[in-house]
Copies of this chain bind each other. A is one copy, B any other.
Amino acid sequence: MNIQTLKVEESRINEVDASNIQFGKTYSDHMLIADYVDGQWQPAQIVPYDDISMSPATTFIHYGQSIFEGVKAYKNASGHVSIFRPADNWKRFNISAERMAMPHVPEEIFMDGMRQLVELDKDWVPSSDGSSLYIRPFMFATDAFIGVKPADCFRFMIITSPAGAYYNKPTRIYVQNKYVRAFPGGIGFTKAAGNYGACMLPTAEIRKLGYDQILWTDGYEHKYVQEIGTMNVFFVLGDKIITPDLSGGTILAGVTRDSVLKLLKQHGYVVEERPLTIEEIRESFYKGELKEAFGTGTAAVIAPIAELFYDGQTLDLPPVEQWEVSNWLKKELADIRYGRTADTHHWMYKVC
């Protein structure tokens, strides 16, 4: 599908300092917009990045029918640009859409739209190791009506922002036993806006105590570990690598999580997806078997955990330099993304 495109008269690319890219401070020259009206998608358009205008009665402002995805495009040494597993984000976007009573976004808008947008702004994809173009597809309800009802009109958009190499200082994690992020029957498995807003205060509170992120636990007993809010979580306990399973509907099915699982299995590691209690992690720690713990997500990729604070106790992880699994994963994922190793899983979606 060829998307109607209105190009900028002059690119803003020179405003970007390639040696000091600040994520989220600058957005690329263009954005994609597609509106859903009267039960059908109108033709998508690529237009210069600009503010959008809406009625103050727009329903999503009041009732939060709003979802998003996070995707990254990489430039390899030959200057070719590819997007990492965008079809998986497209599928997950539509899972979020369904739970939030929003229409599915068709493949030609999400996938072709993303490809054409990234191709047009290919100069915005940084090439230094660890850097990428962050791609943000999102959709929100646009009826100008404040009655509480599922909306009839929606807008899908994609914006992009260059992202520099992410330095993953090992994080100090607070295991949450008061607030709850998600519960069965809710929307924890979706990337709905409301899931994130509800975590802002709990996160601000633990930051005041000197921690970086929350490891969420289940809402019934605060006993089972779940996710880190913007990342899934993995633990290396003895010779096993364990991550919480997704069956409760409270954990996001991360694309990086899935990639990590596939790479680990392919490499012959013993991997378990199952309910995991904080107690089991604590026991492993005291037996000297808690070897590694890390978050996985589109933004941070692999984020090592330096310590876990739970209920008055601190579990200190061994120095990150000694970690075999996560350091290998980080290198393997980077090699695939920057085209330094064969893409045997067909994860890289070539743009140009």
Binding site for B on A (CB under 8 A): 23-25, 27, 31, 49, 51-57, 60-66, 68, 98-101, 134, 136, 138, 140, 145-151, 157, 159, 161, 178-181, 183-187, 192-198, 200-201, 203-204, 219-220, 229-230
Chain B residues with Cβ under 8 A from A150's Cβ? 200-201, 203-204
Are A186 and B180 closer than 8 Å at their CB atoms?
Answer: yes
Chain B residues with Cβ under 8 A from A65's Cβ? 197, 200
The one of B24, B159, B200 in contact with A147, judged by C-beta atoms closer than 8 angstroms, is B24
Chain B residues with Cβ under 8 A from A55's Cβ? 51-52
Most chain B CB atoms below 10 A, which of A31, A186, A200:
A200
Are B183 and A146 closer than 8 Å at their CB atoms?
Answer: no
Chain B residues with Cβ under 8 A from A186's Cβ? 179-181, 183, 198, 219
Chain B residues with Cβ under 8 A from A51's Cβ? 53-56
Query: Roughly how many angstroms separate A52 CA and B178 CA in the complex, as a whole number?
Result: 38
CB distance from A4 to the nearest CB of B (A): 18
Are A53 and B52 closer than 8 Å at their CB atoms?
Answer: yes
21 of the cross-chain contacts (CB-CB < 8 Å) are A24-B146, A51-B56, A57-B136, A57-B159, A60-B193, A61-B140, A62-B138, A63-B193, A64-B66, A64-B196, A100-B200, A100-B201, A101-B201, A136-B146, A148-B230, A149-B200, A150-B203, A180-B185, A180-B186, A181-B186, A184-B219
Are B204 and A101 closer than 8 Å at their CB atoms?
Answer: yes
Query: Roughly how many angstroms separate A66 CA and B204 CA in the complex, as a whole number?
Result: 17
Chain B residues with Cβ under 8 A from A101's Cβ? 200-201, 204
Chain B residues with Cβ under 8 A from A100's Cβ? 197-198, 200-201
Query: Roughly how many angstroms separate A220 CA and B98 CA in the complex, as a whole number?
Result: 24
Q: Which 3 A-B pairs have the closest CB atoms?
A: A194-B194, A64-B193, A180-B185
Known: A100-B198, A147-B24, A150-B200. A219 touches B185 (CB 8 A): yes
Chain B residues with Cβ under 8 A from A145's Cβ? 24-25
CB distance from A106 to the nearest CB of B (A): 20
Query: Roughly how many angstroms separate A99 CA and B148 CA in the complex, as a whole number?
Result: 22
Are B161 and A197 closer than 8 Å at their CB atoms?
Answer: no
Are A62 and B193 closer than 8 Å at their CB atoms?
Answer: yes
Query: Roughly how many angstroms separate A218 CA and B310 CA in the complex, as a whole number?
Result: 27
Chain B residues with Cβ under 8 A from A187's Cβ? 198
Most chain B CB atoms below 10 A, which of A62, A101, A157:
A62
Are B56 and A53 closer than 8 Å at their CB atoms?
Answer: no
Query: Roughly how many angstroms separate A36 CA and B49 CA in the complex, as a whole number?
Result: 25
Are B192 and A64 closer than 8 Å at their CB atoms?
Answer: yes
Are A62 and B52 closer than 8 Å at their CB atoms?
Answer: no
Query: Roughly how many angstroms separate A260 CA and B194 CA in the complex, as a whole number?
Result: 31
Known: A54-B52, A57-B159, A219-B183. A62 touches B196 (CB 8 A): yes
Query: Roughly how many angstroms separate A195 CA and B64 CA in the complex, as a whole number?
Result: 8
Most chain B CB atoms below 10 A, which of A55, A64, A159, A192:
A64
Chain B residues with Cβ under 8 A from A204's Cβ? 101, 150
